[in-house]
A and B are shown apart, each in its own frame.
Chain A
Amino acid sequence: QKEVEQDPGPLSVPEGAIVSLNCTYSNSAFQYFMWYRQYSRKGPELLMYTYSSGNKEDGRFTAQVDKSSKYISLFIRDSQPSDSATYLCAALSGVSGYSTLTFGKGTMLLVSP
């Protein structure tokens, strides 16, 4: 079993929809949780990260972590065609400078106009 599990999709939604992307993890040592976006033929780019449990909002994006259930979510409001990409959740373990990122396999999102 992978330490971070993610449904690969694809997830197809119409423009303007609210998108919910989810991951589960198994390692209780994970402390930081991140969402990366990867466009086709590009490297991943960090969207946002949260520490421990709670919510974090950045524009149309909200990241949520529930450590009690080991569940990570990313919500996208008013989705746009430009949001079409693969979204990777990741969890960080270790201490500063000696930390490693464990990624989910990614969910492909398609937003149609």
Chain B
Amino acid sequence: DSGVTQTPKHLITATGQRVTLRCSPRSGDLSVYWYQQSLDQGLQFLIQYYNGEERAKGNILERFSAQQFPDLHSELNLSSLELGDSALYFCASSATGTLQQYFGPGTRLTVT
């Protein structure tokens, strides 16, 4: 168990809908990262937050947004969902000044 929790585990929704994925980092970790994993693209970095502020941005679509709250939990919002958004979404966290990212168990999103 990495100490990173993600909810829900599975999510099935229809095209055009909006969903919110939630992540709680390890106790004390200020950095939160979001990744998308699909069979064709592999694991892709989406966005990083550090203590509530956006730090780095990867291949995140404009339809996707994220935020980190004062209690350090983070949410990834996905809107106008398309079939191609079906994937595993992972959250990871790391302690300040360290390289190791601890991954959560992921949320499996299926868009029908």
Q: Which residues of A contact B (CB under 8 A)?
A: 2, 32, 34, 41-46, 49, 88, 92, 94, 96-106
Q: Is there an interface contact between A97 and B31, defined as CB atoms closer than 8 Å? A: yes
Flag if A44 contacts B43 (CB, 8 Å). Answer: yes
Chain B residues, CB < 8 A from A104: 42
Inter-chain contact A102/B96, CB cutoff 8 Å = no
Contacts of A98 on B, CB cut-off 8 Å?
Answer: 55-56
Interface with A: B14-22, B69-77, B79-87, B102-110, which one? Answer: B102-110
The residues of A that contact B99 with a CB separation of less than 8 Å are 32, 34, 49, 92, 99
Overall SS of chain A's interface: loop
24 A-B interface contacts by CB (under 8 A): A41-B105, A42-B106, A43-B2, A43-B103, A43-B104, A43-B106, A44-B43, A44-B90, A45-B102, A45-B103, A46-B100, A46-B101, A49-B99, A88-B43, A94-B56, A97-B31, A97-B50, A97-B96, A98-B55, A100-B56, A103-B44, A105-B41, A105-B43, A106-B43
Which of under 10, 10 to 19, 20 to 34, or 35 or more describes the interface residues of B?
20 to 34
Q: How far is the CB of A66 from chain B (nearest CB, A)?
A: 20
Task: Give Cα A102 to B45, complex, Å.
Answer: 7
Least CB distance, A5 to chain B, in whole angstroms? 10
Residues of the B chain whose Cβ atoms lie less than 8 Å from the Cβ of A100: 45, 48, 56, 58
Chain B positions 19-43 with a Cβ under 8 Å from a chain A Cβ:
31, 33, 41-43
Q: Judge whether B56 and A99 touch: CB under 8 Å.
A: yes
